[in-house]
Amino acid sequence: MAVKGFLREKSLYLLLVVFALVLPFLITDRYVFQIVIMGCLFSICTLSMNLILGYTGQVSLAHAGFFGIGSYSVALMTKEGVSFWLALPLASLLAAATGLLIGLPTLRTRGSYFAIATLCFGVIISVVAGNWIEVTGGYTGIVGIALPSPLFFPGIGPISFQTMVAQYYLVLAFLLLTLLVMHRLVYSLFGLGFMAIRNNEILAEAVGVNTFAGKLLSFVVANFFAGLAGGIYASLIGSISPSTASIDLTFNWLIYLLLGGAATLAGPILGAFVIPVILDQIQFLQGYRMIIFGILLIVVIIYFPRGIMGAISDLVRRARACYERGKGMKRAAAG
Amino acid sequence: MLLQVENLTKHFAGLAALSAVSFEVRESEILAIVGPNGAGKSVLFGLISGLLRATSGRIFLQDEEITGLKPHLRACKGIARTFQTTALFDQLRVVDNLALGYRLRTKSGFWATLFHSPGWNKDKTKTTERVEETLDFIGLTEKAFHSVSVLSQLEQRRLSIGMAIIGEPQIVLLDEPTGGLVLQETELITDLIRKIHQAYGITVCLIEHKMRMVMGLAERIIVLNFGRVIAEGTPMDIGGNPQVVEAYLGEKYVA
**A199, B92: Cβ pair inside 8 Å?**
yes
What is the distance of C-alpha B34 from the center of its chain?
A: 14
B234 in any annotated domain = yes
Q: How confident is the model at residue A3 (pLDDT cuts 50, 70, 90)?
A: very low
Q: Is residue B239 part of a domain?
A: yes
Query: Closest approach of chain B CAs to the CA of A184, in angstroms?
Result: 6
Q: In DSSP terms, which residues pair with B233 in a beta bridge? A: B221
Residue of A nearest to B164 (CA): A207
Domain count, chain A: 1
Q: Quick check: A327 pLDDT over 80?
A: no
Chain B, nearest residue to A179 by Cα: B114
A5 in contact with B, Cβ within 8 Å: no
What is the span of the domain harbouring residue B70? 3-92+169-254
Q: B242 CA to chain A: closest CA distance, Å?
A: 37
Mean pLDDT of chain A: 89
Residues of chain A contacting B46 with CB distance shorter than 8 Å: none
Report yes or no: A208 at the B interface, CB cutoff 8 Å. Answer: yes
The angle formed by the CA atoms of residues B74, B58 and B51, to the nearest 5 degrees, is 40
Put simply, whether A202 touches B (Cβ < 8 Å) is: yes
Domain at B225, CATH number: 3.40.50.300
- Cβ distance of B75 and A207 shorter than 8 Å: yes
Residue A216 contacts B where some CB pair is shorter than 8 Å: no
Partnered with residue B65 across adjacent β-strands are B60
Residues B151/B94, Cβ–Cβ less than 8 Å:
yes
Q: Return the residue of B nearest to A178 by Cα.
A: B114
3-state helix/strand/coil string of chain B: CCEEEEEEEEEECCEEEEEEEEEEECCCCEEEEECCCCCCHHHHHHHHHCCCCCCEEEEEECCEECCCCCHHHHHHHCEEECCCCCCCCCCCEHHHHHHHHHHHHCCCCHHHHHHCCHHHHHHHHHHHHHHHHHHHHHCCHHHCCCEHHHCCHHHHHHHHHHHHHCCCCCEEEEECCCCCCCHHHHHHHHHHHHHHHHHHCCEEEEECCCHHHHHHHCCEEEEEECCEEEEEECHHHHHHCHHHHHHHHHHHHHC
pLDDT on residue A9: 60
CB-based contact A184 B100, cutoff 8 Å: no
Rounded to whole angstroms, how far apart are CA atoms A135 and A335? 80
Give residue-wise pLDDT tens across range B62-100.
Answer: 999 999 999 999 999 999 999 998 899 999 999 999 999
A112 in B contact zone (CB under 8 Å) = no
With respect to residue B115, please indicate whether it lies within any of the assigned structural domains.
no
Q: What are phi and psi of A109, to 5 degrees?
A: -85, 165
Distance separating alpha carbons of residues B37 and B34, to the nearest angstrom: 9
Site from B89, B122, B145 to mutate, A interface, most A CB atoms within 10 angstroms: B89
* Triad A96, A97, A103: Cα angle to 5°: 85
Q: How many domains does chain B have?
A: 1
Instruction: Classify residue A197 by burial, with Cβ atoms within 10 Å: 0-12, 13-18, 19+.
Output: buried
Name, in order, each residue with C-beta under 8 angstroms of B86's C-beta and a sequence gap of 6 or more.
B153, B156, B157, B160
Q: Which residue of A189, A194, A198, A220 to mutate against B (max B Cβ within 10 Å)?
A: A189
Asked if residue A271 belongs to a domain, the reply is no
pLDDT 10s digits, A52-83: 999 999 999 999 999 999 999 999 999 999 99
Please give the order of strands across the beta sheet that includes B56-61: B15-25, B3-12, B56-61, B64-65
**What's the pLDDT band for A2 if we cut at 50, 70, 90?**
very low
How far B137 CA lies from chain A's nearest CA (Å)? 19
Mean pLDDT of A20-26: 87
- Domain assignment of residue A272, yes or no: no
Asked if the Cβ–Cβ distance from B75 to A210 is below 8 Å, we say: no
Q: Helix/strand/coil (H, E, C) string of chain A? A: CHHHHHHHHHHHHHHHHHHHHHHHHHCCCHHHHHHHHHHHHHHHHHHHHHHHHHHCCCCCCCHHHHHHHHHHHHHHHHHCCCCHHHHHHHHHHHHHHHHHHHHHHHCCCCCHHHHHHHHHHHHHHHHHHHHCHHHHCHHHCECCCCCCCCEEECCCEEECCCCHHHHHHHHHHHHHHHHHHHHHHHCCHHHHHHHHHHHCHHHHHHCCCCHHHHHHHHHHHHHHHHHHHHHHHHHHHCCECHHHHCHHHHHHHHHHHHHHCCCCCHHHHHHHHHHHHHHHHCHHHHHHHHHHHHHHHHHHHHHCCCHHHHHHHHHHHHHHHHHHHHHHHHHHHHC
Write out pLDDT tens, residues A179-213.
999 999 999 999 999 999 999 999 999 999 999 99
Q: What is the pLDDT of residue B255?
A: 41
| Beta-sheet strand order (sheet of B220-225) | B79-81, B171-175, B203-207, B30-34, B220-225, B228-233
pLDDT for the residue numbered B85:
87
Q: Are A46 and A269 in contact (CB under 8 A)?
A: yes
Q: Which residues of A touch B104 (CB under 8 A)?
A: 207-209
Cβ-defined contact of B127 to A193 (cutoff 8 Å): no
Subunit contact A200:B89, Cβ cutoff 8 A: yes
The tens digit of pLDDT for each residue in A252-287 reads 999 999 999 999 999 999 999 998 888 888 878 777
Asked whether the beta carbons of A62 and A122 are under 8 A apart, the reply is: yes
For residue B123, give the chain A residue with the closest CA: A189
Print pLDDT tens along chain B (255 aa). 899 999 999 999 888 999 999 999 999 999 999 988 888 999 999 999 999 999 999 999 999 999 999 999 999 999 999 999 889 999 999 999 999 999 999 998 999 999 999 999 999 999 999 999 999 999 999 999 999 999 999 999 999 999 999 999 999 999 999 988 998 999 999 999 999 999 999 999 999 888 888 888 999 999 998 899 998 999 888 877 777 777 665 555 544
Chain B residues with at least one Cβ partner in A under 8 Å: 49-51, 70-73, 75-76, 80-81, 83, 87-92, 96, 99-104, 106, 108-110, 112-114, 116, 120, 123-124, 127, 163, 167
Best residue in A180, A188, A212, A317 to probe B by mutation, most B CBs within 10 Å? A188
pLDDT tier, A10 (very low <50, low <70, confident <90, very high otherwise): low
Q: A177: nearest CA in chain B?
A: B114
Q: Cβ separation of B92 and A192 shorter than 8 Å?
A: yes
- Whether the pLDDT of residue A312 is over 90: the answer is no
Domain that holds residue A238: 27-246
| Spatial separation of the C-alpha atoms in residues B42 and B224, rounded to whole Å | 11
Through-space distance between the first and last CA atoms of chain B, rounded to whole angstroms:
37
Residue B212 maps to a domain: yes
Q: Which ipTM did the prediction report?
A: 0.92
Compute chain A's Rg from CA coordinates. Answer: 22
B96 with A202: Cβ contact below 8 A: no
- For residue B123, give the nearest of A189, A199, A207 by CB distance: A189
Which of B42, B73, B85, B100 is the mutation pick for testing A, counting most A CBs within 10 A? B100
pLDDT over 90 (residue A326):
no
Residue A296 lies in a domain: no
pLDDT > 50? residue A92:
yes
